[in-house]
Chain A
Amino acid sequence: MTAGDAYAAVMARRDEIVRRSVGIDYSVYRIGSLAFDYERLLADTGYDVETVAAIQEGTAVGHTPLVELERLTRLVRTTAPAGKGARIFVKDEAANPSGSFKDRRASLSVHEARERGFAGVAAATSGNYGAAIASQAAKAGLRCVVVQEAFDSAGIAQPEIAEKTRACEAYGAEVLRLSVGPELFYVFLRVLEETGFFNASLYTPYSILGIETLGFELARELLARTGRFPDVVVATHAGGGNVTGTARGLAAAGAVETQIVAASVDLSGLHMASDRDFNRKSFTTGHTGFSLPFTTWPDRADVPRNAARALRYMDRFVTVTQGEVFYATQALAQLEGMERGPAGNTSLAAALALARELDEDRTLVVQETEYTGAGKHPMAQLALARRMGIRIARGDPAASRPGESIIIPERLDQVRCVDVDLDGVRHSYLRNALAAAPAGTRLEEADVAFLAAETHTTPDTVQEMIDARHASTR
């Protein structure tokens, strides 16, 4: 390794490497003292939702079935007060070419890479996105490198990620499998430098615009089926792209009243950079280890300005436990004949609880499923959990502790959502945004308007939050 390849040296070149590999000069979008023009960043790509849909049709992405889960709805109503129990639908995104909604994100990134004349694409991802980018690259005739965090220092692979390794290799990608640590980003930067490939980051405008078709389709389909837009859409939430793109697509279709609920698996207490904790979690995505840090500060991503900004769009943010998601996964397989997930069923678990609160004539859409298979399955995850000494039992999932126990509900009414305090999240976001601004920054009107959009509040509320912060730090 030469001195130029050392960790600090590569990280110091980060901005330059990213600018070349994404082809976006993010600095031109700066407005005010800390704000940037988010809408213009997206609009300047030149893609609207209809153009994206046409591109995706070219690679068989999208137009997935919207399935009414009649038996699960009936089941929920047995535990709901009279007149309650919304109709539950699911968008069967597993029907996409590589088996998840991530094909939507990958399709536009690969299209853009090809248009710009890149010889290949690279992505840092341990999840479905790797398979998606490899699949889309294969169809576009581009080369592909995927960098994964895949195994712990004892060499034990996370079974779900092992399956993603296999899928990426099946589509003809090179897979760099790493042990645990945030230096995955360092390895990824070196790959970008060595190859000159397009950075198919999960957080570019392309990746987010690619998802808008999902929200757009489901809004149109539900309108055609029921005469109304969905009342509630639940999205599994990790880095923020799923919530952001879906919400924007719903709005583009005219479904502006639909309530957006973000749902994550509760992995509180487990450290995402811990070699020990790595194989003590049964979910590799859709969990709070990603969703909380990314909601409270999106710009921690591998691009300077993250196009996934979930806090702008969510009306509610809930968590469910690992055991509840496995329970929902079984229910979907055995009552609806759809073996999917498990990680994608995070929003389904939340939906089983949310539907109970809603009137019978309301509709709730779970906006994705993902493919299942070896490794990527409750059985494989629970087998690993047992091997790692985690207690697995039936009971009340509220008593479970991530990394120590997984409790499969004994009854449907034990499936609950726990609300994340959104005001607390907004305060955390604001603290992070102000901390990232240069010292002595004076907020301009554009900054306050930006922060209001970022926190899904008003300029007055932002001013009140800032004043409250000053009062408490005095």
Chain B
Amino acid sequence: MASGGDARRVARGTWVELHRVVLPPGERAPKLPEETRRVPLELRVRGFLIADASPGESAEVRTAAGRRQRGTLDRVLPPYEHGFGPPVPELMEVGEELRAILRGEESER
């Protein structure tokens, strides 16, 4: 085992994400739509790495619930990537339109 030589080696205790296939296409539930039936049921779980491992290797984590979970080491310190995205022009006009209606109503009072 390389010590310090393998730059991709991830140290135990690191927060990582594992990936595993729970059900391959042939073992999935009956009566699924075709596009779902032909792909595997995949699982992703995060936790603290129990022993040093490299991405792509089988690894084990201790989850936030204290359980051990196995899978392929996929991501190290997985970021939360969801956000808001760009402004939506179709929505941005709505507020001003509605405020204008209320202003019109006020001036009639």
| A interface with B by C-beta (< 8 Å) | 6-7, 71, 74-75, 78, 120, 143-145, 150-151, 153, 157, 159, 162-163, 165-166, 169, 172-183, 186-187, 194-195, 271, 273-276, 326-327, 330-331, 333-335, 374-375, 377-380, 382-384, 392-394, 408, 412
A-contacting residues, B63-107, CB 8 Å: 63-67, 69, 80-88, 90-91, 93-95, 98-99, 101-102, 104-105
CA distance A74 to B109 in the complex (A): 12
Contact call B87/A379, Cβ cutoff below 8 A: yes
Known: A143-B66, A174-B64, A187-B43. A182 touches B83 (CB 8 A): no
By the criterion CB–CB under 8 Å, are A75 and B35 in contact? no
A-B contact pairs, 12 of them (CB 8 A): A7-B28, A75-B98, A162-B82, A182-B29, A195-B67, A271-B33, A330-B95, A374-B82, A377-B84, A380-B82, A392-B90, A393-B90
The reply to whether B44 and A177 contact each other, CB–CB distance below 8 Å, is yes
Q: Please pick, from B44, B94, B105, the residue contacting A74 in the complex, using a CB distance under 8 A.
A: B105
Minimum CB–CB distance from B46 to chain A (whole Å) comes to 7
In Å, the complex CA distance between A333 and B47 comes to 37
Within 8 A of A (CB), among B10-55: 22-23, 27-29, 32-33, 35-36, 39-47
Most chain B beta-carbon neighbours within 10 Å: one of A143, A181, A186, A334: A181
Set B27, B83, B90: member contacting A408, Cβ < 8 A: B90
Q: Which of B41, B65, B99 contacts A144 (CB 8 A)?
A: B65
Contact between A178 and B94, CB atoms less than 8 A apart: no
Most A CB contacts (10 A, CB to CB) among B44, B83, B94 go to B94
Question: Which 3 A-B pairs rank lowest in CB-CB distance, beginning with the nearest?
Answer: A383-B85, A334-B95, A375-B82
Contact A181 B28 (CB under 8 A): yes
Q: Are B36 and A145 closer than 8 Å at their CB atoms?
A: no
- Interface pair B43/A176, CB less than 8 Å apart: yes
Q: Point out the residues of chain A lying under 8 angstroms from B82, CB to CB.
A: 157, 159, 162-163, 166, 374-375, 380
Give me 11 other A-B pairs in contact (C-beta within 8 A), A181-B36, A187-B22, A273-B32 excluded.
A7-B28, A71-B102, A144-B65, A153-B40, A162-B81, A174-B65, A178-B43, A330-B91, A334-B95, A379-B91, A380-B82
| A274 cross-chain contacts in B, Cβ below 8 A | 33, 35-36
Instruction: Known contacts A177-B45, A335-B98; decide if A6 and B27 are in contact (CB<8 Å).
Output: yes
> With contacts A166-B80, A335-B102 known, is A273 near B33, CB below 8 A?
yes
The interface residues of chain B lying within 8 Å CB-to-CB of A179 are 39-43
- Give the interface centre of B43, B45, B63, B98 by most chain A CB atoms within 10 Å: B98
Number of A-B contacts (CB under 8 A): 162
List residues of B whose CB falls within 8 A of some A CB.
Answer: 22-23, 27-29, 32-33, 35-36, 39-47, 63-67, 69, 80-88, 90-91, 93-95, 98-99, 101-102, 104-105
In the complex, the answer to whether B67 meets A178 with C-beta atoms within 8 Å is no
Once the chains are docked, how many angstroms separate the CA of A322 from the CA of B93? Answer: 17
Check A174–B22 contact: CB distance below 8 A.
no
Report yes or no: A335 in contact with B95, Cβ–Cβ below 8 A.
yes
Q: How far is the CA of A177 from the CA of B17 in the complex (A)?
A: 11
Q: When chains A and B are docked, how far (Å) is the Cα of A151 from the Cα of B40?
A: 12
Flag if A174 contacts B39 (CB, 8 Å).
no
Cα A183 to Cα B39 in complex, Å, equals 13
Residues of A within 8 A of B44 (CB): 150-151, 176-178
Cα–Cα, bound, A180→B43 (Å): 10
B69 CB to nearest A CB, Å:
8
| Cα separation A273 to B41 with both chains bound (whole Å) | 12
* Pair B43/A177 contact, Cβ less than 8 Å: yes
Given contacts A74-B105, A162-B82, contact A194 B99 (CB under 8 A): no
A159 CA to B80 CA, complexed, in Å: 10
Contact of A273 with B36 in the complex, beta carbons under 8 Å: yes
Residue pair B65, A120 in contact (C-beta under 8 Å): yes
How far does the alpha carbon of A126 sit from the alpha carbon of B2 in the complex, in Å?
Answer: 41
A150 to B82, CA, bound (A): 12
Instruction: Give complex CA distance A159, B82 in Å.
Output: 6
Q: How far is the CA of A169 from the CA of B78 in the complex (A)?
A: 12
How distant is the Cα of A75 from the Cα of B102 in the complex, in angstroms? 6
Q: Assess whether A334 is in contact with B64, with CB atoms less than 8 Å apart.
A: no
